[in-house]
Amino acid sequence: MENSWKIYLLAVVSFLVGTSENIIAGILDRVAEDVGVSIAAAGQLITVFSLAFAFGTPVVMAATAKVGRKKLMLGALGLFIVGNAIAVLSPNYTVLMVSRMILALGTGVFVVASLTVASKLAPAGKQGSAIATLVMGFSTSLIVGVPLGRIIAASYDWKLIFAGIGLLSLLGVVAIARAIRETEGEAPVPFRSQLALLRSPRIALALSVTFFWIFGYSIMYTYISPFLLSITGMSERAVSVGLFAFGIASLIGSKLGGFSSDKWGIRRTLLGGMLLHAAVLLLLSVFSHSAAMMFPLLMLWAFAAWSSGPTQQYYLLTLAPGASGIMLSLNSSMLQLAMAGGAGIGGAIVSGVSLWSISWLGALAVAAAAVLAAASFRIGREARWKAGETHAAALAAPQSDAASR
């Protein structure tokens, strides 16, 4: 692709925003100890991030619909840098909560704007792969950012992670300003029109797929470090290695998901990935006390979960191609609501039931997502059949009239 290097540039910046979002799950126990709260309370840092992302992103995207996508990305990164600075200087849990909300708004707007730009930079028929490349940036944060952050938090201070992300984001601002051309925004879409998209059963079902898929993922991933330390009995070093293995597999899964969507179709890729995802979550509980089994299961889980990311986003773009920004924004909001729900309910389960049981609920949620995806595909298939029958009838009508004459 002529613009492939620009898409990879956006993926590199996506790595930074992805690390800032995902790192809390990797250092949850360290943050909890430092700010003097429980593991469950620290998990709510993920909840508040996700809620701010979910409700703030659509509002900002609607208010800035006419703004060029390049300007929007740069503004979002500026807000993101401010959020990292506040995290570094945060003296307590409350200020850290505020920093997470600011980071969420910067991250959300950048994600939606960059996905729109990447889809426009890609040639026809390669949009799925372009989106997968950006998702690869996020998954790379799991490969490098989260394990490295775990090592930094264990050896030095977890706040150094956010200082480094903020400084590197400044370089990202310069690179995007020089390399990416301005692209026009979209016509403003009133909130009533945005909500009107949800009246389509197929779109509503497709967005509910995002919710249950990510809910099932989040309820386990939020508490993965305490799970590996307490239930599996891994050492600090083994947890870092396990998170690294998870990240490697997520990279492979996201890239293969985009390739598979272009080559074998959305339906096969999405349903296959989600069914495998649900099965692996069950196996994580079954083999929770075996460190030897945990490593391959972590990799299989990451592969299955992240293969659905580019596929689901590309599927939503095909449902409303004239409102790509709004669809991506709605999907991002649904994703973050699911992250918030997973972290919040997961915290309640960890406190009230057991840390071991969270993967069972996660598996049920992902299985529900697969059922809803199948229903959305069936509605689309029926709509195409009806459209084909109507078209055939329209073609037959003139012939029938001619025969009668």
The top-scoring range by mean pLDDT among 121-135, 195-209, 324-338, 384-398 is 195-209
Structure confidence by residue, pLDDT tens digits, 275-326? 999 999 999 988 988 888 998 999 999 999 988 887 888 888 788 776 666 7
Which regions of 262-316 does DSSP assign to beta strands (E)?
A: none
The neighbour count for residue 98, using CB atoms within 10 Å, is 15
* Predicted local distance difference test score (pLDDT) of residue 394: 47
DSSP state of 157: -
C-alpha–C-alpha distance, residues 34 and 29, integer Å: 9
* Predicted local distance difference test score (pLDDT) of residue 83: 95
Task: For residue 101, name the pLDDT band (cuts at 50, 70, 90).
Answer: very high
DSSP state of 37: -
Task: For residue 401, name the pLDDT band (cuts at 50, 70, 90).
Answer: low
Tell the residue number behind the tokens 């950006």, with chain if given: 134
* Predicted local distance difference test score (pLDDT) of residue 79: 95
Structure confidence by residue, pLDDT tens digits, 83-96? 999 999 998 999 99
Task: List, in order, residues 6 or more apart from 373 with CB less than 8 Å away.
Answer: 205, 206, 209, 270, 271, 274
- 206 burial (CB, 10 Å; 0-12 / 13-18 / 19+) is buried
**Would you say residue 119 has pLDDT above 70?**
yes
E strand or H helix at 403: helix 358-404
User: Rg of the Cα trace of the chain?
Assistant: 22
Task: For residue 379, name the pLDDT band (cuts at 50, 70, 90).
Answer: confident
What sign does the CA torsion over 85, 91, 93, 98 have?
negative
* Predicted local distance difference test score (pLDDT) of residue 113: 86
* Predicted local distance difference test score (pLDDT) of residue 139: 67
Structure confidence by residue, pLDDT tens digits, 137-150? 776 776 778 888 88
